[in-house]
Structure 1
Amino acid sequence: MDVSTFYALFSATCFTLVGLWWNVVQRHEGWLHTAAGRRDAGGVYLSFLLPALMGLFAQVGGTTDPGVWRTTFVVVAGVGCWSTLHLLSRSRRNGSAGSLARPRGVAAVLYALVAVLGVAPVLAEPFGVTPLQAEAILLVLLVTLAHWLVWEFMTHTEPADDAAEA
């Protein structure tokens, strides 16, 4: 598959998943009654939105202007890594990390790898793929991880009580 076609399909799929997540959250209004619940639901939302944005920027820059995709991947992955670590830190501090800790930890590592590859695309060469193909693999892993996060969020956790955050 052409990498441009992949990114077009990938980002459309991720934006669809964002919309589906909004519908799930609307059906579970209790998640939004606490700050911790809003943060957790927002973290899942970002796990679909950020890869979607990177997919769009890959289409804009592509192989004709690698500076565009490289810069935006580094910035967006930085936001993803920071927000994921922030969520993980807060939930560990208040004792509510539970089953969300492992997927969040893996996500932070994947975001860091996306950023590193954006800064140093030559790191893809030993694997026999282009930098955009390597990034695509990492983004697929991020979205797969987002599905794991959704599963854990919906089946194994209850959003933390705001009183536990104090």
Structure 2
Amino acid sequence: MDLSTFYALMSVTCFTLVGLWWTAIEKHDEWRTDRRLRRLAGGTYLSFLLPGVMSMMSQVNPENPLMWRISFGLTSIVGLVTSVRLVRVESPSHRGPFRRFRWLAPVLYALIVVLGVFPELAGVVGAAPLQVASVLLMLLILLAHGFTWEFLMEPDVPHVSG
């Protein structure tokens, strides 16, 4: 599969997942009223939206690498900051196999930022920068699916608002 097709499919998939997440949020008023749950639900939203934005931006002008580098870098900084905040919000009592490793998301976002600033580093693994970025985005989406599953399966327990 060529990279253009990959990124087109990735962006469509991510935006579809964003839409499905909106449907899930509609059914859970407590996610909008409880601060912790609102942050976790927002984190899930961003975990699909940000890779979708990066994938879409990679399609805008493939001949100009500066376009994807800037868009991936800026979007990944947002992902880095928000995912670090989510690591702090996580309740140790509700950590499953995926959420236990939530710290990997900021690491992946940081790697994308580094790749955007130093695209020549992709040569270390014998790949083009957008190929390496595609693998990092796939890993982010896999983590996002795990985070989402565990968030949806979290037991209904009283949460402290605020």
TM-score, normalised via structure 1 length: 0.88
Give, in whole Å, the separation in 2 of the partners of 1:103 and 1:157: 19
Of 144, 147, 151 in structure 1, the residue corresponding to residue 145 of structure 2 is 147
The residue type paired with residue 27 of structure 1 is K
Of 100, 103, 106 in structure 2, the residue corresponding to residue 105 of structure 1 is 103
Report sequence identity in percent. Answer: 45
Aligned residue runs from structure 1 range 52-131, under 5 A: 52-62=52-62, 64-91=63-90, 98-99=95-96, 101-131=99-129
CA RMSD in angstroms, aligned pairs only: 2.0
Per the alignment, residue 23 of structure 2 pairs with: 23
Gaps of 5+ in 1: none
| Cα-to-partner distance string for 1:55-87 (whole Å, 9 max, x where unaligned) | 01111132x100010011111101101001012
Give the CA deviation at 1:27: 1.6
Greater alpha carbon shift after TM alignment, 96-105 vs 36-45: 96-105
TM-score, normalised via structure 2 length: 0.90
Give, in whole Å, the separation in 1 of the partners of 2:130 and 2:147: 25
The residue type paired with residue 107 of structure 1 is A
Determine if contact 1:25/1:31 at 8 Å carries over to the other structure.
yes
What number of residue pairs does the alignment pair up? 161
Give, in whole Å, the separation in 2 of the partners of 1:2 and 1:43: 30
Give the CA deviation at 1:31: 1.9
The structure with more helix, counted as a fraction of residues: 1
Determine if contact 1:37/1:159 at 8 Å carries over to the other structure.
no
Report runs of 4+ in structure 1 exceeding 6 Å deviation.
none
Other structure's SS at 1:59 match: coil
